[in-house]
Amino acid sequence: MSAVATPVRSPRHRWAQAARWGLMAVCLSYLAWFFMRNRDTLEVAFSLRPGLLAGILLLQLVYYGLQGWRFRIVMEKCSGVRLPMWPWLRLFILGRFLNIMLSQAGNVYRSVRLKRDFGVSYTRYIGGFASMLWLDTCMNLLVAVAVILLFEPGFRIGTVRAWSAIAVLAVMVIVAPLAAERLLRGLHFRRARLDWVHGRLSEVLRITVANLHDPVYLLKIFGLGLLVFARTVWLFDLYFRAFGVEVPLPALAVFYTLFKLSFFVMLTPGNLGVQEIAWGFLSEQMGLGMARGVLMSAFIRVVGLVVIGVLGLACGGWDLLRRRDQLTTVAEQPDETGPLAPPEV
């Protein structure tokens, strides 16, 4: 992977970056003030039982196996290339590791390695990623609706019935790529640049929609997706138990849905501060108290960073970080080397 010239950042880009960091500072300042007034709740975070911590770490490790396996199935389907399991799993982990350390670098690194080692084009990689992300989001929303209807149909977030709000969102997410694929099919542009972008986007959407015609493939993806969903809800239950509260299953499903959707909008680097306040607000609306939601969000973030940090370094992440200048310049030049990083899966 060779370095390319570092791009010149526009004033607009610099202002946007400053705004993101400024918002993060405001959010973190608010959280510090909040816990200065609720110190007794903060003390719970330092009294975690070893058994619960072991269960949390084990379930965090299970995630990378299940999600890596599912992503491999999607990528093979979208690219038509057979990917060996262990090299792919290492690449999957390194991508997650690099995305944490350097914004966008992980997905770009994955796309470059897949093209170099297995001949997977950048468009096929983006198509696979988009397909995975869409199917994952659709399934999570639909399963959350089913869980709420089965166990507590009257469950509310504030004054809104949770199942109806999530169902509306699910319909929007399901319809969006189908409508976009049909719309783009009839568009044409005279400018070469716009026509190139249109072609790539149309191909990504075509790949995503075409896979819906294979029921065996969908069964595999949704089966593994249900295991990931069950694993994560169980993990969230352990987190809440660590803070001395038992949360009903519908509430856990809502928290997981919000957790996944938060990757689509990054208001601050890693949504640091914003996610914690959002979880605190949601926890307050469900009668669990704001402090528990904030603590759980922060604890998930810390445990996730520790686990992916250890796994990433074990898979060779340190050598990649030593070439940080190359990773940074490649990540900032998606048109020359690969795709911009979408939300993680």
pLDDT in tens, 42-78: 565 556 677 778 888 899 899 999 999 999 999 998 8
Q: What is the pLDDT of residue 321?
A: 73
The b-or-e profile of 67-94 (16+ CB within 10 A means b, else e) is: bbbbbbbbbbbbbeeebeeeebbbbbbb
Q: What is the pLDDT of residue 246?
A: 80
Among candidates 325, 286, 98, 136, which has minimal Cα distance to 221?
136
Q: What is the pLDDT of residue 269?
A: 60
The b-or-e profile of 234-260 (16+ CB within 10 A means b, else e) is: ebbbbbbbbbeeebbebbbbbbbbbbb
Q: What is the pLDDT of residue 341?
A: 37
Q: What is the pLDDT of residue 43?
A: 61
Q: What is the pLDDT of residue 47?
A: 61
Q: For residue range 232-271, list pLDDT tens digits in order.
A: 899 888 888 877 778 888 888 887 887 777 766 666 666 6
Q: For residue range 204-219, list pLDDT tens digits in order.
A: 777 777 777 888 988 9
d(CA 325, CA 123): 25
Evaluate the CA torsion angle 276, 279, 283, 288 in order and state its sign: negative
Among candidates 138, 139, 142, which has minimal Cα distance to 177?
138
Structure tokens at 302: 């810390």
Q: What is the mean pLDDT of each run of 10 residues along the chain (345 residues)?
A: 44 65 70 67 63 86 92 89 92 87 76 89 83 86 92 84 90 82 67 60 72 85 92 87 80 82 66 72 73 76 84 84 59 39 45
d(CA 21, CA 15): 10
